[in-house]
Amino acid sequence: MELYIKNKWVSLGGSSTVQDAEGNDVFLVKGKVFSFTGKKTLTDPQGEVRYIIRNKFWHFLAYRGFILDPQENVVATIKRKAFSLHDSFTITSSLGEIQIIGNILEFNYRVTLNGNEIGHVARKISVRDSYVLTVESGIDPAFMAALVIAIDNINDRKKSDAVN
């Protein structure tokens, strides 16, 4: 399955859309305007919450993000490695250990679970942030979209901290 994640042109909270190849909305990502953790909610087109994405408020050396289920139970923890020559992440999830292989800063990477590729992310050249997410069959596309949003959230937080 191929999904297209596009940040909205104007959004104070960092909202996005996730569309299929035909341009139909598959998921909506709504960000909060005033959120110290960059909280975002991934919903289906009917408004049903699938996942909640947020950063850890305080960070010491390593940036972290979380993917929560609708009841706000943590289903994945994303940790950006602090001392690494390359941008890399460790992801612990209810599925198991997930690895990111590739160039995260350029958003061109493979997502693997137990050595098997479960997805691929590529940045699409455009004025606004836009990504192509390929999800292997049998993998929850909402979870994979939430994972991409979570990594983007962490990178945005890191960039904003570097400016301040």
Q: So what's the pLDDT on residue 35?
A: 54
Instruction: Please say whether the beta carbons of 114 and 94 come within 8 A.
Output: no
CA–CA dist 25, 45 (Å, integer): 7
In which domain, by residue range, is 11 found? Answer: 2-163
Q: So what's the pLDDT on residue 104?
A: 62
Phi-psi region of 34 (alpha: psi -120 to 50; beta: other; left: phi over 0): beta
Confidence tier at 31 by pLDDT (50, 70, 90) = confident
Burial of 137 (0-12, 13-18, 19+ CB in 10 A): exposed
Confidence tier at 79 by pLDDT (50, 70, 90) = confident
Give the largest CA-CA distance in the chain: 43
CATH number at residue 23: 2.40.160.200
CA–CA dist 30, 53 (Å, integer): 10
* Sequence-distant (≥ 6) Cβ neighbours of residue 22 within 8 angstroms: none
Residues 100-159: tens digit of each pLDDT: 877 766 668 888 888 899 999 888 766 556 788 999 999 999 999 999 888 877 766 555
Q: So what's the pLDDT on residue 109?
A: 84
Write out the two tokens for 39: 């909280």
Q: How many domains does the chain have?
A: 1
Taking residue 54's Cβ as centre, other Cβ atoms within 10 Å add up to 21
Q: So what's the pLDDT on residue 38?
A: 61
Q: So what's the pLDDT on residue 46?
A: 93
Residues 39-62: tens digit of each pLDDT: 889 999 999 999 999 876 556 567
Whole-structure pTM over 0.85, yes or no?
Answer: no
Q: So what's the pLDDT on residue 74?
A: 93
